[in-house]
Chains A and B, each alone.
Chain A
Amino acid sequence: MAANAAQQAPTPNWPYGGNSSGESQVHENPEWEKARQALASISKSQNSTKTSPTNHNTQQTGPYQAADSSAMQQQQQYYQQWYQQNQQQYAGYPYPYNYYYPMPPYGGPYPPGQYGVPGGYQTPTTPTGQAPAMPMMEDQSSSYPSQPPPPATPQPPPQSPTSTDQPPPPPPPPIPPPPNAQYPPPPSQNTYSPNGPLPYSPTDSNTMMQGYNSGQIRPGYQGYQTPAYQPPQQQGPGQGLYGGLGRVDAKKPNNSNMNKGGQQLWQRMKQAPGTGAVKFNIQKRPYVMTNQNVPSGDQAPGLASPTATNPSPGSVAATSTTSTGAAQTRPQDWPQAMKEYVQRCFTACESEEDKDRTEKVLKDLLQSRLQDGSAYTIDWTREPLPDLKPKQSRWEAVPQRSQENAIGRGGAIRGRLGARLGNYRNVFSQRSPSSSSSHSSRSSSRSPSPHSRHRDRSRHHRSDSGSQSDSSMSSDPRFPLSRRQQKGGRGRGAERERGRGAAGERGRGRGKANRGRRNMEDLASGIGKKRKGGNAGLDFHDPNREAKKQSRAARFHTKLRTEPLVLNINVFDLPNGTQEGLGWDECPIVGTCQDITKNYLRLTCAPDPATVRPVSVLRKSLIAVKTHWKSNQDYLYACEQMKSIRQDLTVQGVRTDFTVEVYETHARIALEKGDHEEFNQCQTQLKALYKDCSSDNVGEFTAYRLIYYIFTKNSGDLTTELVYLTPELRADPCVAHALELRTAWALGNFHRFFKLYRNAPRMAAYLIDKFVERERNIALRAILKTFRPFVPVEYVQSSLAFLDLDSCLAFLTGLGVTFTPSDPSKIDCKVSSVSLTTS
């Protein structure tokens, strides 16, 4: 256990920034000191002040490392966020979940990942050998180990056997191995820190997934579960451990917030992650509370003790660093003007409540600013101080909080449940900001980071983390809570703020869940809590919204310039190129099939030469089909054979006179049988083929095309067709006939039209048949309107080119024409015209 813990502890510290605490502190301290001092003057509780400085140091160290490797920080931050989310989720979930689910992610991401791989990786960045860091680490580690054992033991009893079973093995010996060997996730996590964001996203997903498997053991160890268990332990160390993870921070923030907003605020700001941790603590605590009231009380003190005593800098540092590390990095990066602005804000505070509010507001504001990058562009000297009053007026919850907080302060140290609860609530509220702050820390780290990768990664992380959390939540059948939370998060959800929103809502969700589980505890207090929590949520939202608005506005003002190169033009070209390359011409095939007849099958893949007939065979095939057609008039057979011939020609890229002949033949056959589709296909092909191959039948098929346009009344295509008619073509009898027909049709000269119809060359009559009825109808109307008092049927028959009287009569009666009563061979035009026009 110890060995494991030691390993784990150091690694986590590293990433967080346990190593180079001194430098960071030095840098930050002077600047921050001012704010702190101002805050300190305001703040009343010594404990908080004390703790805060310690935290500062530790935190600063954390940021430091972050500074060393921005990627690391980001990752960590992600981690933290992720972590938080997970924790939150977990918190919301019942114990068993913590065991199974939450544990893995936690353990996986933080300690395990860092330990197993990161330890190796990260160490290089920050020398593990450093004295200051090491002690810190050791302390933490010590604390950890101490914790793990207790939790492991305690856990089994309270929790489900399964969880117990799993945890016990890991605790001492397994722990170390799990990260490395057992847990695939840890390595991935490791990848996170070393690689940076990229590995992150995948790892996140993985971790989530993996977390289930591998993470379970560790999480239990590290104390995520432990917190819940801790109550039984009731010991400071356990808390310390927890706190180290971030629970301590959480407690601290509470206390610190209560006590000395300024410093703590800073810490919170910086330590957004830490605050996140706080959330975790809270959740867990509530569990504890619900489960075991006494232990919870114990825990609370324990929590308080670490903060107050801060004897174990390592633990505090670890906790704060872990959570804060990312956050702290920010302050360093913060523009001086912004720091001053923060100072002003706090100095303007008259009461602790004000400070608390200011804290929250500032957190949100700064986070958003940092995320946007507007923090570096805004003129902070002109920035108005946050207006607390209106918010208060809007949200009454805020004042309540402050009160609660005050209570919490008083009682937090030695636990009134209610006070604690209040604190917790507050914590929640604070958490959300903290979580947001963690975001901001990311952003801040991003902006300084020159590499676009980081940004992208970070984004991915975010999204991933969000999605992961969602997925985890959704994947778990656990409770509707998770879904609610998700929804809530989404609903709020600006992209970036999803995390926040989700966190906040989750916090609520937890609260609810906790309540449900806790039932016992807090029916009374719970109500208050609920309200509080709800209010807190609102508060959070609002500041977030404002921040969002600002961030949105900022986006428009200063967009980042493109990081990736702009080379899409070529990409765009590709599709065209590929399309061009698809022609049959480029992959000629020579068939080997000797069958004269072949059934048509639509090709769905590359043709097989063995099934394709060469042209020599196709010639025989065509003759065979023709003779078969003449003798049998079996259109289905002929059409299929023709299509298969056409297909073979197409596949082989044959475009010769023979091809033309095939298409002409098929077109004629199709025309004779009135097969529109095939005829048009052939016509289209012929039109293209005629450009390459000469044929004696060009005129014939051009005429068909003209007539077809008459049929479709497509004057536009008709005109374009006329444009391309050469004088030679016009002289072609077929074309000339078609042109005359067209003229007659255009002028409504039905007499001439039908005369031409009767004399149609070749197969034009088949085509005209398609619309002869239509033209007869029109012509008949004209006739009936023109002639008075009657017109003989013979005239109609001859004019409209009916072959015999019967067909004409059938046509007329079909239209409802009336004949003169006296002479059935004559049409009563007046009556018929009326009936025709009305019909």
Chain B
Amino acid sequence: MAHITLNQYLQQVLEAIDSRDGAFCAEMLSFKHPHVANPRLQLSSPEEKCQQLLEPPYDEMVAAHLRCTFAVSNHDFVEAYKCQTVVVQYPLSFQAHKEENCSSSLCMCGKGKVGDMLEKAAEQLMSCFRVCASDNRAGIDDSKKWGMLFLINQLFKIYFKINKLHLCKPLIRAIDSSNLKDDYSTAQRVTYKYYVGRKAMFDSDFKQAEEYLSFSFTHCHRSCQRNKRLILIYLLPVKMLLGHMPTHQLLKKYDLMQFADVTKAVSEGNLLLLNEALVKHETFFIRCGIFLILEKLKIITYRNLFKKVYHLLKTHQLPLDAFLVALKMMKVEDVDIDEVQCILANLIYMGHIKGYISHQHQKLVVSKQNPFPPLSSVS
């Protein structure tokens, strides 16, 4: 397979088409397949050959694909993208095609595109998706609907890159309403839930985010350490917000020690440490897009800190000054009693503290039973 000639390659494609071997055909058009690196296939003008061997729609696809490999090998990504677009547009007009072909040709699209081509690529994928989604005639077995999830995942990937999460909504709805949603391959489902979980997290729907991301994490293949790590990066903040702190071993296993200090600070109510940790790993967190989420851990940290104050004072009527002292200990600058009230008000409002503030007496009165309910029961 290593270095087949063009004729061999085309022959294989032809056989795949004849035998309706969609999977193999997809491979032959895939950019992940080793044949892409084959210099004998990297031609600047493979049209003629392809035309001789293959039937109309396919020859153009294959020719475009080969040209794309050529362009990639020359690091001409724009050209590659254009070629790839030709490949991708074909399944559209060619309805009778098998879903695998559709999806296969697409998975390279992700690689062929560069820069602002992303949005155009998304458009292409979207049109493919419409074709798949509208395939109501074919039987369930070879329906193009099986290609939907793949396309959606690719679209998610692009949308997340270009920060257009709102575009994900119709896609999620499409899958939710699909009767196939539990029958897709596990890999696709893991990917799908990963993205949907992320989206839920950004929408501050942490419960759902946790659900999706947990599914994704537990079903992800165990050999895919990198993927699992990616999932954890989003799962950890969500879990912490919900009160589940990761163990040290877990962080170590997945090389996520950036979270170690954060975890420690939150569970200890150590606001100072948390601030330091956030600043220290700010770039990492920001690049992962979770800085704003981790920032919300401050609220949890306040809660834990105030809980400590409560335990120290051992009373239900806590003077606000005590909290002010605690905050100053954590080197929070320019805090005044009004801000303490504000922070407490937020904690009470969010349900982290059961109680009320007596403005008249400047005291926090907490419930005698379970004044600091466990995080998992809150929100």
A719/B63 contact (C-beta < 8 A), A572-B82, A573-B82, A786-B345 known: no
Per-residue A-contact encoding for B325-352, CB less than 8 Å = 1, 0 else: 0000000000000110111111011100
* Segment 499-536 of A: residues with Cβ below 8 Å from B: none
The complex places the Cα of A716 from the Cα of B204 at a distance, in Å, of: 12
Interface membership of B314, Cβ < 8 A? no
The complex places the Cα of A751 from the Cα of B358 at a distance, in Å, of: 17
* Segment 707-762 of A: residues with Cβ below 8 Å from B: 714-720, 722-723, 743, 746-752
Which of the residues B79, B299, B365 comes within 8 Å of A747, measured between beta carbons?
Answer: B299
Per-residue B-contact encoding for A535-578, CB less than 8 Å = 1, 0 else: 00000000000000000000000011110011111001100100
B163 and A716 within 8 A (CB)? yes
Residues from chain B with a CB closer than 8 A to the CB of A559 are: 55-56
A782 and B345 within 8 A (CB)? yes
Residues from chain B with a CB closer than 8 A to the CB of A795 are: 338, 359
Interface membership of A339, Cβ < 8 A? no
Interface membership of B202, Cβ < 8 A? yes
A718 and B292 within 8 A (CB)? yes
Chain A nearest CB from B76 CB (Å) reads: 12
The complex places the Cα of A752 from the Cα of B340 at a distance, in Å, of: 10
A790/B60 contact (C-beta < 8 A), A561-B51, A716-B165, A723-B286 known: no
The complex places the Cα of A722 from the Cα of B287 at a distance, in Å, of: 9
B346 and A747 within 8 A (CB)? yes
* Segment 251-279 of B: residues with Cβ below 8 Å from A: none
A746/B295 contact (C-beta < 8 A), A569-B83, A715-B202, A717-B163 known: yes
Interface membership of B369, Cβ < 8 A? no
Interface membership of A791, Cβ < 8 A? yes
Interface membership of B241, Cβ < 8 A? no
Interface membership of B54, Cβ < 8 A? yes
The complex places the Cα of A750 from the Cα of B344 at a distance, in Å, of: 11
B47 and A567 within 8 A (CB)? yes
The complex places the Cα of A714 from the Cα of B60 at a distance, in Å, of: 42
How many residues in B have their beta carbons less than 8 Å from beta carbons of A? 48
A787/B342 contact (C-beta < 8 A), A569-B64, A572-B86, A723-B286 known: no
Residues from chain A with a CB closer than 8 A to the CB of B56 are: 559-562
Q: Considering only CB atoms, which chain B residue lies closest to A753 in the complex?
A: B342
* Segment 20-59 of A: residues with Cβ below 8 Å from B: none
Interface membership of B357, Cβ < 8 A? yes
Task: Select the residue from A559, A566, A716, A790 with max chain B CB neighbours within 10 A.
Answer: A566
B55 and A562 within 8 A (CB)? yes
Interface membership of A792, Cβ < 8 A? yes
B82 and A782 within 8 A (CB)? no
Which of the residues A567, A748, A798 comes within 8 Å of B346, measured between beta carbons?
Answer: A748
The complex places the Cα of A683 from the Cα of B59 at a distance, in Å, of: 47
Interface membership of B356, Cβ < 8 A? yes
Chain A nearest CB from B274 CB (Å) reads: 12
Which of the residues B63, B296, B357 comes within 8 Å of A569, measured between beta carbons?
Answer: B63
B296 and A561 within 8 A (CB)? no
Interface membership of A785, Cβ < 8 A? yes
A782/B292 contact (C-beta < 8 A), A561-B52, A749-B339, A798-B338 known: no
Which of the residues A560, A786, A792 comes within 8 Å of B349, measured between beta carbons?
Answer: A786
* Segment 784-814 of A: residues with Cβ below 8 Å from B: 785-792, 795, 798-799
Interface membership of B13, Cβ < 8 A? no
Interface membership of B35, Cβ < 8 A? no
A720 and B163 within 8 A (CB)? yes
A568 and B356 within 8 A (CB)? no
Residues from chain A with a CB closer than 8 A to the CB of B292 are: 715, 718-719, 746
Interface membership of A781, Cβ < 8 A? yes
The complex places the Cα of A704 from the Cα of B298 at a distance, in Å, of: 25
B357 and A788 within 8 A (CB)? yes
Residues from chain B with a CB closer than 8 A to the CB of A787 are: 345, 356-359
Chain A nearest CB from B185 CB (Å) reads: 28
Chain A nearest CB from B1 CB (Å) reads: 25
B286 and A746 within 8 A (CB)? no
Which of the residues A560, A572, A717 comes within 8 Å of B85, measured between beta carbons?
Answer: A572
Interface membership of A783, Cβ < 8 A? yes
Chain B nearest CB from A778 CB (Å) reads: 9
A785 and B349 within 8 A (CB)? yes
Chain A nearest CB from B128 CB (Å) reads: 16
* Segment 82-120 of B: residues with Cβ below 8 Å from A: 82-83, 85-86
Chain A nearest CB from B242 CB (Å) reads: 17
B296 and A746 within 8 A (CB)? yes
A566/B59 contact (C-beta < 8 A), A720-B163, A748-B346, A782-B349 known: yes
Residues from chain A with a CB closer than 8 A to the CB of B54 are: 561-562
Residues from chain A with a CB closer than 8 A to the CB of B360 are: 790
A723 and B287 within 8 A (CB)? yes
A751 and B83 within 8 A (CB)? no
A562 and B359 within 8 A (CB)? no
Residues from chain B with a CB closer than 8 A to the CB of A566 are: 47-48, 50-51, 59-60, 63
A716/B202 contact (C-beta < 8 A), A561-B54, A569-B67 known: yes
A782 and B346 within 8 A (CB)? yes
**Majority secondary structure, A binding face:** helix
Q: Considering only CB atoms, which chain B residue lies closest to A562 in the complex?
A: B56
Which of the residues B64, B295, B338, B356 comes within 8 Å of A788, measured between beta carbons?
Answer: B356
Residues from chain B with a CB closer than 8 A to the CB of A715 are: 202, 292
Interface membership of B34, Cβ < 8 A? no
Residues from chain A with a CB closer than 8 A to the CB of B356 are: 786-788
Interface membership of B291, Cβ < 8 A? yes
Interface membership of B289, Cβ < 8 A? yes
Which of the residues A561, A576, A719, A786 comes within 8 Å of B357, measured between beta carbons?
Answer: A786
The complex places the Cα of A665 from the Cα of B345 at a distance, in Å, of: 41
Task: Select the residue from B55, B341, B359, B365 with max chain A CB neighbours within 10 A.
Answer: B359
A751 and B342 within 8 A (CB)? yes
Chain B nearest CB from A718 CB (Å) reads: 7
The complex places the Cα of A567 from the Cα of B44 at a distance, in Å, of: 12
Which of the residues A560, A568, A791 comes within 8 Å of B359, measured between beta carbons?
Answer: A791
Residues from chain A with a CB closer than 8 A to the CB of B63 are: 566, 569
A565 and B48 within 8 A (CB)? yes
Task: Select the residue from A747, A790, A799 with max chain B CB neighbours within 10 A.
Answer: A747
Residues from chain A with a CB closer than 8 A to the CB of B291 are: 719, 722
* Segment 139-197 of A: residues with Cβ below 8 Å from B: none
Which of the residues B86, B343, B357 comes within 8 Å of A749, measured between beta carbons?
Answer: B343
A569/B342 contact (C-beta < 8 A), A722-B291, A746-B292, A786-B356 known: no
The complex places the Cα of A239 from the Cα of B165 at a distance, in Å, of: 79
Chain B nearest CB from A579 CB (Å) reads: 11
Residues from chain B with a CB closer than 8 A to the CB of A786 are: 341, 344-345, 348-349, 356-357
A749 and B346 within 8 A (CB)? yes
Q: Considering only CB atoms, which chain A residue lies closest to B295 in the complex?
A: A746
A750 and B296 within 8 A (CB)? no
Q: Considering only CB atoms, which chain B residue lies closest to A742 in the complex?
A: B292
Q: Considering only CB atoms, which chain A residue lies closest to B50 in the complex?
A: A566
Task: Select the residue from B63, B163, B287, B296 with max chain A CB neighbours within 10 A.
Answer: B163
The complex places the Cα of A777 from the Cα of B165 at a distance, in Å, of: 27
A790/B289 contact (C-beta < 8 A), A562-B56, A782-B345, A783-B345 known: no
Chain B nearest CB from A741 CB (Å) reads: 13
B339 and A747 within 8 A (CB)? no
A747/B51 contact (C-beta < 8 A), A569-B83, A786-B344 known: no
Task: Select the residue from A567, A716, A720 with max chain B CB neighbours within 10 A.
Answer: A716
Residues from chain A with a CB closer than 8 A to the CB of B341 are: 751, 786
The complex places the Cα of A720 from the Cα of B341 at a distance, in Å, of: 33
Per-residue B-contact encoding for A760-782, CB less than 8 Å = 1, 0 else: 00000000000000000000011
Complex A-B, nearest 6 residue pairs according to Cβ-Cβ distance, in ascending order: A751-B342, A786-B345, A782-B349, A788-B356, A566-B47, A716-B163
- A to B CB contacts below 8 Å, 9 in the list: A559-B56, A561-B52, A561-B54, A562-B56, A565-B51, A719-B286, A720-B163, A747-B296, A748-B350
Binding site for A on B (CB under 8 A): 47-48, 50-56, 59-60, 63-64, 67, 79, 82-83, 85-86, 163, 165, 202, 286-287, 289, 291-292, 295-296, 298-299, 338-339, 341-346, 348-350, 356-360, 365
